[in-house]
Structure 1
Amino acid sequence: MRSPRRSAARRTTVLSREAVLLTVPAVVAALLGAAAPAGSATSGKPGAPGAGDAYFPLSGNGGYDVRHYDLTLRYDVASRHLDGKAVLTARATQDLSRFDLDLKGLSVTGVTVDGGAARHTTRDGQELVVTPRHALRKGHDFRVTVTYRGTPKPVSDPDGSPDGWIPTDDGAFVANEPQGAMTWFPSNSHPTDKATYDFTVTVPKGYTAVANGVLRGQSTAHGLTTFRWHEAEPMAAYLATSTVGKFQTEQYTTRDGVKVYNAVDPREAKKAAPVLKKLPSVLEWESKLFGPYPFRAAGSIVDHAPDVGYALETQTRPVYDSAPDLDTLVHENAHQWFGDSVSLTSWKDIWLNEGFASYAEWLYNEQHGGDSAQKTFDALYARPAKDALWAYPPGDPGSGKYIFGDPVYERGAMALHELRRAVGDKAFFRILRAWAAAHRDGHGTTAEFTRLAQRESGKDVGPLLHTWLYTKGKPAHA
């Protein structure tokens, strides 16, 4: 963000000759077990109602991992009404009697698990509690289908910014960081659970629905247009989008074979054009620094959403609330490596997203005729000890309220610059590439980054990173 802020073996019960000698009650019990669906457990316990994140305790859920989301949406722009069907393919990570999905503000009209009707209730305003007819055995792959409808509304983040499905004058700006995915589809909404996605989105003719990945096709009939998108690489729910508007669109393929799709609100087109033209060269430059681009699609969604106040690194296709400047384009696309491909395990580690993307801006300017990264560092370090830059440590901001503050972005970038000075350019850029490669399509932590940096550089950089990421106040600088 940049802001002014495989299958499990099927289990059957077979009565051997020895089973004939079983007592009648035991035989009955065995037969009851055989009557349960293949792959089910005869007992289990509820999945946790959250993923265990200290900053957002109810985000995500326990007991299962989602492998794929198939989302079918129909949005009426005039009435702001959404009809949805979500099919989640998942695997139980424990014997599971019931589980939660994150969903807020929408009416659920039906839930099935493996084709059988399941009981469902809501709790705490954002937890859809699903109880299948039979408990699910650990390792069992299952499918849950949820149909729902209503008028989606954004949530307000701890810092006061809107998040999720945000209505605009011509559609919706859809940006979910950190918790807004639950406003428009049921999910396991924490970065630790990544999945692939299909989107089928129907909107009134004349409007465009832009989601993640590659456009598989679009068709118009009876005054409605349907867009089909596919994201083949794992993605956290907060990085999904389905932005709707009246857009000018363009498509092309880069020299590296990446399919680009840009959608621009006409009101932002003139200002956005010269910046968007630089996207292929920016991706090429970032690929040289960070390693191969991690996805098969790229692009931009430039909306006219003056009340939003930020851009977001939605996977493969960042969404901007207005025409971006070049720094913002560089920042959001750097996130495709740092944040999207390599994702968080907890929100307190968000500097691994924002500090890296901010430092990418410094590097771009340094290598394209602007200020050196050292000059940028020095200007920031000159701020007095009481400045907001030093208000809290970027490695653990303290609460969700502060995860998008200056310390996370700027002091996070400063930590990387100090690392660069300590190990030298050759080792530093090797560290960046090794981090992106080692954790591609996965997750990382600050501790893992520190160990990797020490291994790649051969230097004990743990104390330095600890000082810049975890100590309070303005760090001493050699």
Structure 2
Amino acid sequence: MAAVLLVAGCTEHEDRRFRPGAADVGDPYLPGAGNGGYHVDHYALKIRYDPAGKRLTGQATVTATATMGLSRFDLDLAGLTVDRVLVDAAVAKHRRAGNELVITPAHGLPAGKRFVVEVSYGGVPQPLHSDELGDGGFQATADGAIALGQPESASSWFPVNDHPSDKATYDIEVTVPDGLTALSNGVPKGQSTKDGWTTWRWSEGAPMASYLTTLVIGNYRVSTSTHAGKPLVTAVAVELPANGPAAAALARTGEIADFLADRFGPYPFDAYGGIAIGDERIRYALETQTRPVYGPGFFRGERPNTTVVAHELAHQWFGDSVSLARWSDIWLNEGFATYAEWLWTEHDGGRSVAQAFAERYAATDWTKPSVDPGRAAMFGEAVYQRGALAVHALRRAVGDETFFRLLRGWLAERRDGTATTADFVAYAERVAGRPLRPLFDAWLVGATAPALP
């Protein structure tokens, strides 16, 4: 009777240890994104991009740990062709299911096992399109390419567990034709040239959410210096004036980061920087970790726009170091970054925080919530401006000393991790020593204007 239970050399009992990992983390704001059954520890990416043919070839080495017994698992990868997959150096079966790369290793992976996946792939990358959120991800440019976008972009250029709930460290190696710059996240690790191609190397040693990765290739004026003992790399597209407002704004990166560190606690990463691009299709700025990317529209005036720099640098704490566990809590990123704009503007000689608060309070549509605003409204004013109002309401309720101690403690306790609104409210109540949920409910989700604290 026992012989009937043998399946491919395993007993029925043994076979039940392994099952497929989920092909979706279950975030309703981003159906299909992320995967279950494992946690990624590190990505090592070797990318080669030829702008002439718009072709990318890549080798991704993904080091992960199984969180359950896995018979197979998925990585997110959109549109590119996979040539070979190895799991722990053994050939693994693979197939595509839409934007999922489904991998079946030669043997089941027990819970707790650390394993290494090597994926060889290539093709002509395409952006990821959403009717509600627009295009994100890899986009070819006249002189190179830009990989950028929120809430997703990474899966357009490498295989990834594409959800901020699974953060990992990165080594990124990018090879491009001589004369082009290839910028990415983290600490610069040098360049080498061979046979008409230059390889640029970058390393991000702090855990990073996948949408915070970036790849910017093209003709850029690069400035490399040191700030507070860490490398500071800024780059401005050659289409923008050499000494224009973009360059002037990025030149204040270290100063603005220091201002924010005085209020939020130590800068959380090993490098600073920023990239001002010239591609008019990019109408936003994004807090890509250690090196925010700014669209050209922010630098049209004669004066440097340092407000947007303050916003994106604030995200290095709120959003990058402490990341979202789910997209419905995006106000935790944007409300605090918007509030940082108010703080910086006051410090830099502009309107006061009190003035900004009063103006936004009077102009706010209180029927639109900051928390769980809906997928189509996740980048709406309620998330940014009402979120900032809630931050200042907290400050007024608990006082400056408790408020800034609360922020510094929150960021230190949650550094390199993820969080939810409930986590933040619970922490605030613990530090303040008083109930605060009614205040947060009124300022974040109540349908009428809350009373001023």
Answer whether TM exceeds 0.5 for this pair. yes
Q: Which residue of 1 aligns with 2:266?
A: 292
CA distance in 2, matches of 1:390, 1:153: 38
CA distance in 2, matches of 1:362, 1:243: 30
Residue 151 of structure 1, CA deviation:
0.9
Amino acid at match of 1:393: P
Matches within 5 A, 1:74-85: 74-85=48-59
CA distance in 1, matches of 2:418, 2:308: 24
Q: Which has the higher contact order (CA 8 A, sep 6+)?
A: 1
| Contact 2:49-2:57 within 8 A present in 1 as well | yes
Residue 217 of structure 1, CA deviation:
1.2
| Contact 1:239-1:315 within 8 A present in 2 as well | yes
Question: How many residues matched?
Answer: 443
Q: What runs of 5+ residues in structure 2 fail to find an aligned partner?
A: 300-304
CA distance in 2, matches of 1:356, 1:194: 21
Given the alignment, which residue of 168, 190, 196 partners 1:217? 190
Superposed CA deviations along residues 392-443 of structure 1, whole A, max 9, x for unmatched, are 2011112x22111111000000010111111111111111111111100011
Indicate yes or no: 2:154 matched with 1:181.
yes
Identity of aligned residues (%): 48
Indicate yes or no: 2:85 matched with 1:111.
yes
| Contact 1:41-1:95 within 8 A present in 2 as well | no
Amino acid at match of 1:432: L
Given the alignment, which residue of 390, 394, 402 partners 1:419? 394
Indicate yes or no: 2:433 matched with 1:458.
yes
TM-score normalised by the chain length of structure 1: 0.89
Indicate yes or no: 2:412 matched with 1:432.
no
Q: What runs of 5+ residues in structure 1 fail to find an aligned partner?
A: 1-22, 35-39
CA distance in 2, matches of 1:157, 1:428: 38
Q: Which residue of 2 aligns with 1:355?
A: 335
Indicate yes or no: 2:174 matched with 1:201.
yes
| Contact 1:318-1:332 within 8 A present in 2 as well | yes
SS of 1:289 mapped into structure 2 = helix
Amino acid at match of 1:341: S
Amino acid at match of 1:320: Y
Amino acid at match of 2:237: D
SS of 1:441 mapped into structure 2 = coil
CA distance in 1, matches of 2:309, 2:352: 19
Residue 117 of structure 1, CA deviation:
1.1
TM-score normalised by the chain length of structure 2: 0.94
Residue 264 of structure 1, CA deviation:
1.2
Matches within 5 A, 1:372-451: 372-383=352-363, 389-398=365-374, 400-451=375-426
Of stretches 219-228 and 261-270 in structure 1, the one that deviates more from structure 2 is 261-270
SS of 1:285 mapped into structure 2 = helix
Indicate yes or no: 2:138 matched with 1:165.
yes
Residue 374 of structure 1, CA deviation:
1.5
Q: Which residue of 1 aligns with 2:239?
A: 267
Q: Which residue of 1 aligns with 2:28?
A: 54
CA distance in 2, matches of 1:473, 1:98: 49
CA distance in 2, matches of 1:271, 1:153: 31
Indicate yes or no: 2:45 matched with 1:71.
yes
Indicate yes or no: 2:224 matched with 1:251.
yes
What CA RMSD, in Å, does the superposition of the two structures yield over aligned residues?
Answer: 2.1
